[in-house]
Amino acid sequence: MAALSREVNVKNITKDATIPQNDVAKVMYYLKSATKNCGLDFLQDDLIDYPHYYRLSTERGDAVFLAAYQCSPDEFMNKTLFVDRYNRVCGHRTGIFLKITEATHLFAVQSEALILGRKTSVNTILIVREDWLEQYYVQPMKNNIHRLTRAIAAARASSGPSLGGLLDALIESVSDSPNHCAHCSGKASKCSCTRGCALSENSKCYPSHCQHCTGRNSACSCTNGCALNANSKCYGLHSIPCDLCGASSIRESRYRCASCSTFNVCQKCYRECIKLNKHDASHAFMEYAREGTQPKLHPAARPAVPKASSSGSRSKLPARRESSPASELGTQTSSSSEAKDKQGYFYLKMSTGELKQYLRENHVSFHDVLDLETLQRRVWECYCDSVSSSELNQLLASIGVEIQAGMRIESRRRLAKQKFNAGPRPSAPNVTRCPFRAGEKVSLRNLKTVSWNGKTAIVIETSAATGRVTVRLTDTGKQYSVKFENLAPHEIPESLD
């Protein structure tokens, strides 16, 4: 994209649109903008009808993300899609459409471009700001990576129409001459003409680059060294550079990170990523044998784990503990149900100082807490609120809680909080009756929070079974539960007259 040095005035053909605040609708809007609105009308109508996204079934909703992954921005970038990095063209809009005649003096636009492995005529281009791609493609795709994975698995298992059929439809829509002669059916397969008619460059039945090659959508089977061409189905050259070795074009298979949508590597660098840990091993990769083919999913080398602690992170855990919640969640060393239930309760191994330090670093107040159980509960609830969806699932699994299908993350967080475990209860105090009566004035003593010692309180309720007394502070009016041994009768100082 050429850099612009001044504001420009162009006649755009953009129409206002209202996009629902839903990830499926946003991706459908991206698909329509990048394909149909730019003259590439090959996707089925229900996949781009974003105002009525709610009409899609779960399976068709998954198909939206599958189509968007195949039709990613890098397939159209600097061909029919351009980024206005300095906001010289879009103005107050996040994106506009321009006829190619209006854009030739702004960008290096070509009337023909190689899109999805086929030569395509370009009449209309889409110019967007960077935040447009983030809002309508990058973020929705990140939020729904599980739906994309499910759609790819379903497409591979199904014998029905797949995304490959949609791409064949694209070839038909952009080809000037779908059949090379009257005797040929023009199918995207081996030519059926027996009259010896010459093949044209735009014919759909031009799959082979030589008589020795079958032209199937895989590695080239020719052993005679014949030159490959862009119209061959076994053309193994990708127009996208490798982000590790820097090769301008990736030959053979291209590997694309399923989490980092713009990270592409060649086959050699992909193997190094796995072997030498040059990329996050918890990320899955999609393999493209050639331009326009359906990707193959390569699972992550290891499952995702909670992110490392940082000073500004809500999920930061104290460094002094012998083991982190992440390691506790992922390991089960005891076969007993009791050991399994205790495994996720990391706070049981933390001292009072570590519990307070955890809350302090996560900006959670604890100055009103007088007992260990309440302190542990506050740490547990803070951690449940801070972890990601996948970490929360691991947490629930580690304490033996089954998750119902379709349960929202808010419900899962509430469920996790309800499973708080304070550990073994202290033995009941050896008292036969409570030494204090309701309404009696008492003083606090021997508390770990020194500033509370000496405060005056009124007894509200007593319990000989638990050995605790509910009191109300006279200075603040707040009520707390305190052990018998932390109370003493209130003594009025003698007068010094």
The single-letter code of the amino acid at 15 is: K
Same domain, 378 and 353: yes
Please give the tally of structural domains in the chain.
4
Domain's final residue, options 142, 170, 198: 170
Same domain, 37 and 116: yes
287 belongs to a structural domain: yes
Domain's final residue, options 370, 385, 418: 418
Residues 6+ apart with CB under 8 A from 481: 370, 371, 468, 469, 470
316 belongs to a structural domain: no
pLDDT digit string, tens, across residues 102-135: 766 677 777 777 777 677 777 788 888 888 888 8
pLDDT band at 407 (very low <50, low <70, confident <90, very high): confident
Task: Please classify residue 28 by burial: count the beta carbons closer than 10 Å to its beta carbon, then call 0-12 exposed, 13-18 middle and 19+ buried.
Answer: buried
Over range 353-380, report the average pLDDT: 82
Name the most confidently modeled range: 81-95, 326-340, 468-482.
Answer: 468-482
Q: Which residue has the tokens 């990140």?
A: 142
pLDDT band at 42 (very low <50, low <70, confident <90, very high): confident
The pLDDT score that the predictor gives to residue 166 is 46
The pLDDT score that the predictor gives to residue 292 is 57
The pLDDT score that the predictor gives to residue 313 is 43
The two three-digit tokens of residue 109, written as one number: 């636009």
Which of 380 and 291 is assigned the larger pLDDT?
A: 380
5 belongs to a structural domain: no
Same domain, 62 and 128: yes
**Residues of the domain holding 91:** 23-170
The answer to which of 18-32, 299-313, 419-433 has the lowest mean pLDDT is 299-313
Query: CA 351, CA 65: separation in Å to the nearest integer?
Result: 47
Q: Which residue has the tokens 């953009």?
A: 14
Same domain, 431 and 414: no
pLDDT digit string, tens, across residues 264-277: 888 888 888 777 76
Which of 43 and 327 is assigned the larger pLDDT?
A: 43
Same domain, 387 and 280: no
314 belongs to a structural domain: no
Measured in whole angstroms, the distance separating CA 197 from the mean position of its chain's CA atoms is 51
- pLDDT score of 338 more than 50: no
User: Do residues 270 and 247 make contact, with C-beta atoms less than 8 angstroms apart?
Assistant: no
75 belongs to a structural domain: yes
Helix 58-70 and helix 145-157, axial crossing angle in degrees, nearest 10: 100
The pLDDT score that the predictor gives to residue 330 is 36
194 belongs to a structural domain: no
Same domain, 92 and 131: yes
pLDDT band at 137 (very low <50, low <70, confident <90, very high): very high
Residues 6+ apart with CB under 8 A from 228: 209, 220, 234, 235, 236, 237
Same domain, 28 and 164: yes
pLDDT band at 185 (very low <50, low <70, confident <90, very high): low
Same domain, 432 and 390: no
pLDDT band at 164 (very low <50, low <70, confident <90, very high): very low
The pLDDT score that the predictor gives to residue 35 is 84
Q: Give the residue from 353, 356, 328, 330 showing the smallest Cα distance to 342.
A: 328
Domain's final residue, options 170, 190, 224: 170
Same domain, 354 and 459: no
- pLDDT score of 5 more than 50: no
Over range 303-307, report the average pLDDT: 44
377 belongs to a structural domain: yes
pLDDT digit string, tens, across residues 203-246: 656 445 565 665 554 456 666 666 665 445 555 556 677 888 87
Same domain, 41 and 152: yes
The pLDDT score that the predictor gives to residue 12 is 52
Q: Give the residue from 131, 130, 114, 132 showing the smallest Cα distance to 122.
A: 114
- pLDDT score of 376 more than 80: yes
- pLDDT score of 336 more than 80: no
378 belongs to a structural domain: yes
Same domain, 329 and 382: yes
Same domain, 382 and 433: no
